[in-house]
Structure 1
Amino acid sequence: MTNRTTQVSVHFSRPFLLPDFEAPLPAGEYRVDYDEESIESASRLAWRRVGGFIHLPAIGMPGSLHQMIPIEPAYLAAALEKDQRLP
């Protein structure tokens, strides 16, 4: 089985809260790393997300401490969807 990490940027228009976080995170652009493992079949190669990390603080935000915090990809996807639905 092969593993890989992909990095994406996600944008929140307003503060958001993820489970296991004590306080809302500010609106902004965030780097997210997804750990994926291969799913091999006879016809093609596919990837399944098995974990994720969000980089704090947001891109361009001041802060002397930079962290990678584990997140559940489904929770991040739900927070992004909620952010896009709100006016």
Structure 2
Amino acid sequence: MSIRSRHETVTFRHPFHIRGIDRELPAGCYEVVTDEETIEGLSFPVWRRIATLITVPAESLRGATERLAIGSVDLADAQAADRERCQ
């Protein structure tokens, strides 16, 4: 079984919430890493998401960051809410 990681930067224009994180996060750019694994036994490559992580400012230390597990749907919902606030 192979595992790959996709890295992307997502930008929020407003402070936001993501389900599973108990605090409001500030507007800004965030690194998101999605880990995927192959599904074996097929005649073509298929990847299944196994984890989505976002790097956020740490609550306790100024300037420090922490990587938290989130749901990909929860991230998409937060991005949609941020876009709606711009309209």
| TM-score normalised by the chain length of structure 2 | 0.80
Note the C-alpha offset of 1:10: 0.4
Letter of the 1:49 counterpart: R
Alignment of 1:9-20 (within 5 A): 9-20=9-20
Q: What is aligned with 2:78?
A: 79
Unaligned ranges ≥5, structure 1: 58-62
Q: What is aligned with 2:21?
A: 21
Q: CA RMSD in A?
A: 1.5
Note the C-alpha offset of 1:56: 1.6
**Divergent runs of 4+, >2 A:** none
Alpha-carbon distance in 2 for matches of 1:28, 1:39: 35
Letter of the 1:8 counterpart: E
Letter of the 1:36 counterpart: E
Quote the sequence identity (%).
33
Note the C-alpha offset of 1:76: 0.5
Number of matched pairs? 81
Alpha-carbon distance in 2 for matches of 1:64, 1:82: 26
Unaligned ranges ≥5, structure 2: none
| TM-score normalised by the chain length of structure 1 | 0.80
Note the C-alpha offset of 1:48: 2.1
